[in-house]
Structure 1
Amino acid sequence: MANQRELDYILPGRAESYWLATIPESNYPALQGDLRVDIAIIGGGIVGLTTAYLLKEAGFSSIAVIEAGHILRGVTGHTTAKVTSQHHLIYDRLISKFGKRQAQQYAESNQAAIEKIASIVASKKINCDFVRKPAYVYAESEDSTNRIQNEVQAARNLGIPAYFEENLPLPFKTYGAVRFNDQAQFHPAKYLSALAEEIHGDGCHIFEKTRALKIKGEEPMTITTDKGSITAHRVIQATHYPIHDKPGLFFQRLHQSRSYVLGVRIRDPFPDGMFINAEKPARSLRSQRTDNGELILVGGEGHRTGEEENEISRYQNLEKWVRANYSVDSIDYRWSTQDTISIDHIPYIGRQTSGNDNIFLATGFKKWGMTTGTVAAMIITDMIAGKLNPWEEVYDPSRFKPVESAKTFVSQAVEATKGLVGDRILPVHKEASDIPPGEGAIVKIEGERVAAYRDQNGTLYALDPSCRHMGCIVSWNNAEKTWDCPCHGSRYNAAGEVIHSPAVYGLPEKKVKK
């Protein structure tokens, strides 16, 4: 529970992603009535838009992308936008747990995704700050040096030109790093806004402010939305966390994790490269050119969604760390993001189930969605076009490796069910009247739990605290002013409206004495 001193802490910077602050908000129409298309894509982030773009390039001319809000405003708009196949220390583990062949598929697919993005940027002349950079994972202690060296060797065994770097141009002590050359970074919102313009028109559609509620049928399928229905022969769930999960394959195989970013101006030049530490808590660093000079993105402080009692402390920790290591002129932006993580830490990409060959999904990107989201678009496009893709096997959603996943599966099942009975969520105020303006809490009123929020004008919002996805008890996020579900990461604003799937319906109001 946050103490008063922490609640009085003034969060640094503007509460907005730099990417979204520097592009105009999109203005695509909402769906009006019913529609028939060949392919429907739910979700307007990197997976949905890249898949629609590649499908249209491949000759498919009847596509609809639907987005509950505005495109790019979800997870994709809150990334640190590293375009890299260096997904922390992954390759030594992949070889050990999955074997060299599948590790090779993972490495080759993500290397290919970098080149796919580069080729699209070049061919369409997209001004999105795309620039090649080396990527580093560095050790903060001698204990991690062997892990770094093992990763270098593993990556080289898979054909990735990896190098051990002894000295890094960082203002704190490191104990070696693995370096991947010729990686990249970009402005994801500029890039994907350009792809959206290529998609919309000539029989293909982007619909905003159109929330998918359910999918039914097999072939064709019908997507029921809050604005009408879309009938399609193939459906792609690009919703970060699938909103349609029948027969319940993924709710114990995925969880969601929040992390935090500060956009910082420092006095000294930032070194060439993208950096992340090997240990926890994570410290991710990269620079971004802006009209006002260089902005440094400092990220980390990840935790399972809905389980942190004081999200404000996460921003505090990042700010303390960056001020301890750099001469800070200003902190201009702050934002948080949410990532879906599978039990074996490899994304699920492909046909959702063996029983229906016409519904596809892509999820579980574990904070590396710029490349793995592009990989997903490439694989799904090939599947729909009837082409064999060489990387399908490692990402197959139907996989389950007992040796690698069984322990994590049991742990995830336990965590996913705790929220059903509210194990973690205890009332933090005895009475709703104790809640100060701008704060929320789970309280008990007449023996029933209530999610209560008091706005700055003193108006109390009283909501049913049971998440509309599977009934877990939500918790209050004091930094973002949201209700977050600890089971599967659904999120609601203070008034109970859905802002993050898998929930598609808001928290209902409860009648209480205010």
Structure 2
Amino acid sequence: MTLFQKDNISEKTESIWHKTVHLPSFRSLDQDIHTDVAIIGGGLTGIVSAYRLAVRGVKVALVEADRLASSTTGNTTAKITVQHGLIYQELIAHFGKEKARQYFDANNEALSWLRKLCQSSDISCTYATAPAILYAATDNERRSIEREKEAYDCLGIPAQFSDSVDLPIDTKGGLTIADQAQFHPLMFLHFLVSELVRMGAAIYEGTLAYDLEKKPSLAVVTKDGRKIHCRDVLICSHFPFYDANRLYFARMYPERSYLIACADCESVPQGMYLSAGDPRRSLRSAVCDGRQIVLVGGENHKTGQGGSTTDHYIRLQGFADAVLGENQMIAHWSAQDYTSLDKVPYIGLLAKNEPHLYVAAGFRKWGMTTAVVAAKLFSDTILGKHNPYTELFNPSRFEADPMIKTFIIEGAIVGKELVKGKLDRKQRLLDELGNNQGVIVTINGQRAGAYRDEEGSLSLVNTTCTHMGCEVNWNQAEKTWDCPCHGSRFSANGEVIDGPALDPLKKLYQEPSQEQPKG
């Protein structure tokens, strides 16, 4: 296996899904349009929502700031399961048995819907049934999964506890739910997008939703000033581009996680594995382009606070070698998602006084089933149907336990990072900066972000995040500027990749390209 060099990853980060499937391309919105429902975000949530509405005759327009599935959906592990880590014991403690069971039912129905659609439509997406196994690496973790099994029993969730799991490492037991599933998410979305095109749905890429107008009628306003006039808006954009003073940036916290794809493995795990403790480790097999691979993931950390991003890939490689034996790494990438204060996603009306604005956010890295839960809740509400899970996922909820405590803790972390960033005045000579590297420097007494591209051209950006003024940090593995406060991410030259920020970092200097003309 080829190892990364510390702080000098030159290989492009690209998921195995993107390497093996290319979704159709769509033009940017260049005129004002009218539709029934405007859907913001071209990931699994937005596309499934568009599909569920379109098949019922609703006119939809879907807009994506970048390319379809370019964010979390295209970088997922693509596990379709109701086993979302150690969650059910917490749900019972904080919400009670009835709502905890509702959480299971909602996700189980989503799993069943995906299975039925894949089978009835004969979708070529390598859909396969597989068990989900939560395993313990220590005695403390074993006690945690034993308590989780008690929660399963209380809720009537079928599962089996065993003293060992089928992995070539030392474990202390496992909790297995049978008949879960896995698939190739972009192959699945290719089918849905094709169906949307066939049904006449409008799809636009490279179109950033920037604001909302409410008078004289509801309209989404893009960064280029185009308007999407509509009756309802579904905000499925990973992070709400419109907040309605609901402070979503303070009600969720962002985390990054990492994945490597390994081929030619000496050993291939039979199932979808997740460790019960830290450091987090995830395993699942997959077939891409007819090739058997294994996805190895984990290394979760708060966005912008994980230290050397290269180190995360190195540690995953070491784990892969221990579990898979001889293997070859063929892809590496990372993903970002948000977690709500009580770990239950926000799905429903954006705010009580906003009857036509809906949001889906805070999926906690379990988007394959949660996206379908959101799409069904949206379509049911818009079509006037009762949905039994509306109250559970209501974004306006604010439970005293544990949400207020988490709110205070997260606020303290954000404040610490804000002050830390303002005081950071590290200096490093720009002529020491190698190609394809970035660093924080001090220019005329001010903090700036310097990046030298592969051709040696230098660019400088203001490192103050355009969302709320925190100072971004350099992510060498992804070649991005990441905000440690609320998770905004920017490209090396300052363009927005992930919100809540809507505006790019201020450019301070851009050196002309040093690439020699060809011919």
TM-score > 0.5 by shorter chain? yes
Q: Deviations over 1:175-199 (max 9, x none)?
A: 1111101100000011112111112
Amino acid at match of 2:291: G
Structure-to-structure mapping, 1:296-311, within 5 angstroms? 296-311=294-309
Aligned match of 1:193: 190
Q: Distance in 2 between matches of 1:126 and 1:5?
A: 40
Q: Deviations over 1:253-292 (max 9, x none)?
A: 1111000001012443423210011010101000002335
Structure-to-structure mapping, 1:78-477, within 5 angstroms? 78-217=75-214, 220-227=217-224, 228-423=226-421, 426-477=424-475
Is the partner of 2:48 in helix, strand or coil? helix
Q: Distance in 1 between matches of 2:290 and 2:378?
A: 40
Q: Which stretch has the larger CA shift, 250-259 or 216-225?
A: 216-225
Is the partner of 1:119 in helix, strand or coil? helix
Aligned match of 1:493: 491
Q: Distance in 2 between matches of 1:505 and 1:267?
A: 44
Q: Distance in 2 between matches of 1:234 and 1:72?
A: 22
Length-normalised TM-score, structure 2 = 0.94
Q: Distance in 2 between matches of 1:440 and 1:426?
A: 16
RMSD: 2.0
Amino acid at match of 2:507: E
Amino acid at match of 2:400: P
Aligned match of 2:47: 49
Amino acid at match of 1:162: A
Q: Distance in 2 between matches of 1:96 and 1:21?
A: 42
Q: Distance in 2 between matches of 1:14 and 1:497?
A: 18
Structure-to-structure mapping, 1:32-71, within 5 angstroms? 32-60=30-58, 62-71=59-68
Is the partner of 2:229 in helix, strand or coil? strand
Q: Which stretch has the larger CA shift, 459-468 or 329-338?
A: 459-468
Q: Which stretch has the larger CA shift, 196-205 or 394-403?
A: 196-205
Point out where structure 1 has 5 or more consecutive residues left out of the alignment.
none
Deviation of 1:112 after TM superposition, in Å, equals 0.4
Deviation of 1:200 after TM superposition, in Å, equals 2.5
Is the partner of 1:173 in helix, strand or coil? coil
Deviation of 1:422 after TM superposition, in Å, equals 4.4
Q: Distance in 2 between matches of 1:49 and 1:218?
A: 28
Deviation of 1:202 after TM superposition, in Å, equals 4.4
Deviation of 1:458 after TM superposition, in Å, equals 2.5
After superposition, the Cα gap between the structure-2 partners of 1:220 and 1:145, relative to the gap in structure 1 and judged at 3 Å, is: same
Deviation of 1:156 after TM superposition, in Å, equals 2.6
Q: Is the 8 A contact 2:244 2:350 kept in 1?
A: no
Q: Distance in 1 between matches of 2:312 and 2:363?
A: 22
Q: Is the 8 A contact 1:103 1:158 kept in 2?
A: yes
Deviation of 1:435 after TM superposition, in Å, equals 2.5
Q: Distance in 1 between matches of 2:324 and 2:240?
A: 40
Amino acid at match of 2:57: G
Deviation of 1:505 after TM superposition, in Å, equals 2.0
Is the partner of 2:335 in helix, strand or coil? strand
Amino acid at match of 1:225: T
After superposition, the Cα gap between the structure-2 partners of 1:482 and 1:513, relative to the gap in structure 1 and judged at 3 Å, is: closer
After superposition, the Cα gap between the structure-2 partners of 1:25 and 1:200, relative to the gap in structure 1 and judged at 3 Å, is: closer
Q: Is the 8 A contact 2:268 2:324 kept in 1?
A: no
After superposition, the Cα gap between the structure-2 partners of 1:424 and 1:174, relative to the gap in structure 1 and judged at 3 Å, is: farther
After superposition, the Cα gap between the structure-2 partners of 1:191 and 1:84, relative to the gap in structure 1 and judged at 3 Å, is: same
After superposition, the Cα gap between the structure-2 partners of 1:511 and 1:332, relative to the gap in structure 1 and judged at 3 Å, is: closer
Q: Distance in 2 between matches of 1:268 and 1:84?
A: 26
Amino acid at match of 1:260: Y
After superposition, the Cα gap between the structure-2 partners of 1:29 and 1:201, relative to the gap in structure 1 and judged at 3 Å, is: farther
Deviation of 1:301 after TM superposition, in Å, equals 0.2
Amino acid at match of 2:331: Y
Q: Distance in 2 between matches of 1:52 and 1:76?
A: 15
After superposition, the Cα gap between the structure-2 partners of 1:187 and 1:218, relative to the gap in structure 1 and judged at 3 Å, is: farther
Q: Deviations over 1:396-417 (max 9, x none)?
A: 1001111211111001112233
Deviation of 1:201 after TM superposition, in Å, equals 4.8
Q: Is the 8 A contact 2:274 2:280 kept in 1?
A: yes
Deviation of 1:220 after TM superposition, in Å, equals 3.2
Q: Is the 8 A contact 1:256 1:305 kept in 2?
A: yes
Runs of 4+ off more than 4 Å: 511-514
Aligned length: 508
Q: Is the 8 A contact 1:16 1:333 kept in 2?
A: yes
Deviation of 1:430 after TM superposition, in Å, equals 3.5
Is the partner of 2:505 in helix, strand or coil? coil
Q: Deviations over 1:421-458 (max 9, x none)?
A: 44487244334344332221222111111111122332
Is the partner of 2:484 in helix, strand or coil? coil
Q: Distance in 2 between matches of 1:200 and 1:295?
A: 32
Q: Distance in 1 between matches of 2:231 and 2:265?
A: 55
